[in-house]
Amino acid sequence: MKLLEDRILKDGKILEGNVLKVDSFLNHQIDVGLLGKMGAEWKRLFVEEGITKILTIEASGIGIACIAAEHFNVPVVFAKKSKSTNIGADLYRASVESYTHGTVYDVVVSKKYISPEDRILIIDDFLANGNALLGLIDICKAGGCVVAGIGVAIEKAYQGGGDKVRALGYRVESLAKIKEMNEKDGVIFE
Ligand code: 5GP
């Protein structure tokens, strides 16, 4: 999506550890108009899929998912980060290795909010190694629902997570796909 790529080139900052900082429009201050256009693009791509719910992960996925949800006219459920090790009978739980912090944390979704009738669109801001998406996929599997598609804002394709998730048979649509990124050459898209 050219609009998002241009914005990354204009305002994205490359940090150490292969981190792209997009705090001025996506992750801290939010450009709602841009998110609206991203939501419209995912709607166009997944219009045939009969999406009943959008699933994301707190915190940075929530804004993107909510604005996308307006285009699909469906609710958003976000997986909550959980410190408790209780395996609550009313929760689905998955472990996720954090890309930015290097730690492992659990995410939970209440059994009330996903069900086998659901056709889920998973949405997240970044795709790097794929761990966040794999955690959300595990939660959908536990809930018996269909993952009808995955929408990612920015995929760092050279980190392999997208290949891993696509190899499992899921359709992943990334609106900006980074082929390479370094301080010397900047961000290069596929
Ligand atoms: P993965 O689980 O695919 O390795 O990483 C995805 C998660 O890590 C996303 O939910 C996002 O929060 C975070 N992340 C990964 N790479 C980046 C990055 O380059 N910039 C930012 N801001 N977050 C990232």
pLDDT tens sequence across 149-189 = 999 999 999 999 999 999 999 999 999 999 999 988 999 99
Distance of CA 79 to the CA centre of its chain: 11
Which atom of ligand 1 is least distant from the CA of 18? 19
**Is the pLDDT score of 101 beyond 90?**
no
Give the separation between CA 9 and CA 12, rounded to whole angstroms: 6
**Is the pLDDT score of 102 beyond 70?**
yes
Tell me the backbone φ, ψ of residue 51, rounded to 5 degrees. Answer: -65, 130
CB distance 19 to ligand 1 below 6 Å: yes
Which one-letter DSSP state was computed for residue 111?
A: T
CB distance 128 to ligand 1 below 6 Å: yes
Please state the rounded mean pLDDT for residues 12-26.
Answer: 95
**Is the pLDDT score of 89 beyond 90?**
no
Which one-letter DSSP state was computed for residue 74?
A: -
Ligand 1 probe mutation, 78, 99, 137, 180, most atoms within 8 A of CB? 99
Q: Read off the tokens for 175.
A: 């609106």
Stated pTM of the model: 0.96
Nearest C-alpha neighbor of 36 from the set 1, 87, 61, 71: 71
Give the separation between CA 78 and CA 58, rounded to whole angstroms: 6
CB distance 108 to ligand 1 below 6 Å: no
- Whether residue 128 is preceded by a cis peptide bond, meaning omega within 30 degrees of 0, is no
Q: How confident is the model at residue 87 (pLDDT cuts 50, 70, 90)?
A: low
CB distance 155 to ligand 1 below 6 Å: no
Helices (H) and strands (E) in the chain, counts: 5, 10
Question: What's residue 30's pLDDT?
Answer: 97
Q: Read off the tokens for 94.
A: 């998955």
Tell me the backbone φ, ψ of residue 188, rounded to 5 degrees. Answer: -120, 125
Q: How confident is the model at residue 131 (pLDDT cuts 50, 70, 90)?
A: very high
Hey, whose CA ends up nearest to atom 9 of ligand 1?
126
